[in-house]
Structure 1
Amino acid sequence: MARSSADDLELRRACEAIIDGGGGKQKVVLSIRVAKSRGVWGKAGKLGRHMAKPRVLALTTKAKGQRTKAFLRVLKYSGGGILEPAKIYKLKHLSKLEVVQNDPSGCTFMLGFDNLRSQSVAPPQWTMRNKDDRNRILLCILNICKEILGRIPKVVGIDIVEMALWAKENTTAVSNQLSAEDGRDASAMIQSNAQVTVERDLVSQAEEEDMEALLGTYVMGIGEAEAFSERLKRELLALEAANVHSLMESESIIEEVLQGLEVATVCVEDMDVWLGIFNVKLRHMREDIESIESRNNKLELQSVSNKALIEELDILLERFEIPAEHEASLTGGSFDEDNMVKNIEACEWLTGALRNLEASSLDPCYARMRGIKEKRAELVLIKCTFVRRASEFLRNYFPSLVDLMLNDKNYFSQRGQLKRPDHADLRYKCRIYARLLLHIKSLDKNCLGPLRKAYCHSLNLLLRREAREFSNELRAGTKVTRSQIVWLEGPMPSNQTSNADSSTVSEAYSKMLTVFIPLLVDESSFFAHFMCFDVSALAPSDACADTDKAVSDGINECTPGKIVAQGNDSAELGILNECLRELLDGLQEDFCSIVDWAYKIDPLCCISMHGITERYLSGQKADTAGFVRLLLDELETRISMLFSRFVDDACYQIEKCERNARQMGVLPYIPRFAILASRMEQYIQGQARDLIDQAYTKIVSIMFVALERTAQIDPKYVDIVLLENYAAFQNSLYDLANVVPTLAKFYHQASESYEQACLRHVSMVIYIHFEKLFQFARRIEELMFNVAPEEIPFQIGMSKVDLRKMLKSSFSGLDKIINAMYRKLQKNITAEELLPSLWEKCKKEFLEKYGSFVQLVVRIYPNETVPSVIEMREALSNL
């Protein structure tokens, strides 16, 4: 038999060196070479020997305190044939040891571990060289598990008896071989222990010796199996006969025992009768005791229940009883101011009584009682009566208060006397019934609708009367002279006169807003709280008064500003806004009359009125009393519309002037726009510039378009009209353009147009007087595109002789020609102040053009002499 790799000491030393590094902490029990292959779970596939990989399995142990751990290590060969660690398994997780059945040699087995992460991957298969190596490693694994772990894994595919017989046969040889090769006898001890362990699992040594002795006794003297069977039968009959004989000899003893049993049976029966009698008596006694206890418990329960019932009835009687003073107030009392304390107390009692009789406040058994239902119906009837009486009183009370104020002229503005509306007395009289309204809402919320309408209708009459009287007296008391801005008709108004005439108009509009906008906001806030809307008021106003009185009466009037719905109750806020519309509707007419009156006096007042309105509008947040914001929005829209009408009228006058333009010089709307812009800037006074900037843009755009069209009427004077008017626009708006960005943009636009018109006009004047000179230069430039410069003098009309003739005719009487140029500029210009600058532009442009001509002559006619640019500049400066 070939030597097993398990006996290779070099292999073991190599494994120890790799595993423990020579430290001696881990001991290699067994190391053996195997072949590794991969199988398929649940299927018996072909043994893939062509895929087998050489590996070394090493069984190691490691002592850790009093415990010993066992490992199965897998080592593989590297590229240089050197062993290196590949994998390690803990034997405590070994659950199954299976020999592969589809391997005819029986040398392939698998080890199943219960802690593998992926159970879907087939475990590796280990193939040994022969069955001896297979049995050797499997036996070693089983013994280590038994000795160290105290259990053995499940063995599949091999008989344990076969393993035990193999261990018995091969233990001596293995031990001797190991002892001879190595001085240490650890392997021999392990193999000996393995034999004892396997045999102990099957049958012990003592049992085996007894079985051998017994079998030896029966086998001696037996020749055939039938003779042995006959012998056993005879011995069995002899034993049975001996048993019967012994039973017959003990008959007397048995009879005595039977007699004793009969006596004991009689005693037991007598005792059973007596116990039955006692049991009946005890049962009767127990029933009597239970009956007595039951009657006693019922009496105690009845006593406790009667006491609790009396208490509950007393409470119900208290709820049923209506105090006489409250009943009188609820059913027929007066609502005068002196009786309001009693009425409020009666309302509080009624509210509490109704709440106590609700089904949710009572026990379900009480809620179905007839008395409770009748009492609730009675209280509901009293509630309806009281609410009806209180609502009818308040519906008449609100108009009566307002009628008293309407009939007294001292409450309103009179001729020569402006009177600020004062509602302090009205609110004080209303606050007397504030808590009454709270109780009406808690008793019957639907009754608040008619009351709110009555209050809104009455107060609306008062507010409209106050606004109308105040507006009329405000207009009558404002002393102004009506001034209409006419662009092209009538004399130009001076700035001082215009300011004096219209300054009081804006002040009147501002005073109207200052008096009534806070009043309307305060009235909106007071109405929201007085009429018990579920809102909270923020942003305190300066119009608050009587704080302590308001709080004590249940109404906080000192926070009339931002009104928001509590709990995001948008429906409640919608109802409030509808009521406020009814309360304040119609007041916009008096405000609009002030705006129209101011527009007729001076349309430019719209600028200051728009700014005033915008400031008030920005102070009212999105959740402020809705109608006040709508009123301000409407005023702002109307002011913008009127101002747009004024701007449109100004644009119409510009277009009308364009159709009637026949003369030269500055158009009338150019200087008048400067006056208008100065006045508009005086009205803006730090307000938002959107309105006025839009007006500037529209008017100036129309002005420039109309100017261009007017200039085209006579093509001969197009540039003269443009440069004079653009110059006048710049001169008149120079100061304003430095501070107004919109006007600065148009100022630069006019400046560019002025420069272009000047350049065209100057070029035309120069060309008229030096036509031959510049025509010759232009012809040279045209020829240079197709002809070489040195060939140009040989072209027809371009010879040196032609050049000399042209120079002689152009520069003969140069002083007269220059004087004629100046007179040409002076003749057509109506604005004499523009002539010096225009003449300077003319000289500059002429010198630039002449300089270009001189360069062309020097390049084309290098030997010809022409007057230099310096000489021409001296000739121009002598004028």
Structure 2
Amino acid sequence: DKESFKKKNSWHLRDLLVVDGKDENKDTAELDLTFERVYKWTASSAPDKNSFVQILWRLSCHYLPKQKPQFVNVPRQLLLKQDSLRNCSDTANNTGLDGSTSPDAPSLDGSLAGDYSAVSVREQRDLQLLMTQCSSAVSNAEAFAQQLAQDLSLLDGANIHSMMASEAQVEALLSMIDAALEEAGKIEGKLDSYDSILLHVKDTIHKMADKTKCIEQSNENNTKLLEELQQVIYELELPIAQEQLLRSAELSNSELLPSIVEAAAALQAVLSAPLPPHLHYMQAVKDQKKKFEKLRARFCQLVSRHLNNLFIHLGNDPGLVPPASNVAAVGGMSNTLPYGSSGAGRVCLPRHSCVHTELEPYTP
């Protein structure tokens, strides 16, 4: 049926952005409405289009006073005057508590419903109670109006007292809020001071940890250094008594000879001590080594001189034996001379046993 229509799409008024009437000076049935995109419409006639645009304008003035869509290419006579628009904006929020439209709101035809505000449910109930109490004087309009004025004055007084009491309570509440803010400020200041203290404690703990680590490292280094020093001292230490024996080196004294040999072995152990290579660069180690090298050189000279003298002394032995002796000692063994040889002033090889006895203490 051409006269029946079916709703296909719907939009909210607040989503309408632009209303384009196509031509302000020419009557046309075409119309463009811009929502998320532009929709082109064609009314059945130009008056129908103008009525539709006027209704959109009035509804926008009432419900969207600050976010009205933009009307372009629309005749000015279709839009309300500036003062009517201001009245529409002033009364845009006049809606009842129950969701009903205020009588001051403009209707679709532009007329105002009245110069009064709708009463709430509580006011209706109070008014009905008042009319019930004054039912006997309803016929007397003057008495009824007087009663209303009296009740109104009582209500005004009650409202004033309520406002004054509320003002005192508000002042008390504000003072309590100020006190709470002051206490909160004090607490915040204390928290800031505690935070700074904790930050200082944190820094102190970090410093103490670093110092503790340094102390532990220092103790470990000192322990290792002490061990190295003890090793150096133990390896490069020669008793003073043995040092004096090596300096004097009385090799002719048979009683001191074992002690001198022992001191020489100790000196050799000190000079060949297995020290780490880096310790040889220490001045103290160099001085000690130099001292013992000099002592060894001196002792070697004394031993060399003594052995040289001893070899000379033993080499000067003539090897003569008594005349009655018929025996010659050769290498510690007795040999009988041939029969019939002369026995007086007889020359024979010296005994090696005495030389061996003299040189045996010097064996390593």
Which of the five TM-score ranges fits, normalised by the shorter chain? 0.3 to 0.5
- Larger RCO, structure (CA 8 Å, separation 6 or more): 2
Higher helix share: 1
TM-score (norm 1): 0.16
TM-score (norm 2): 0.36
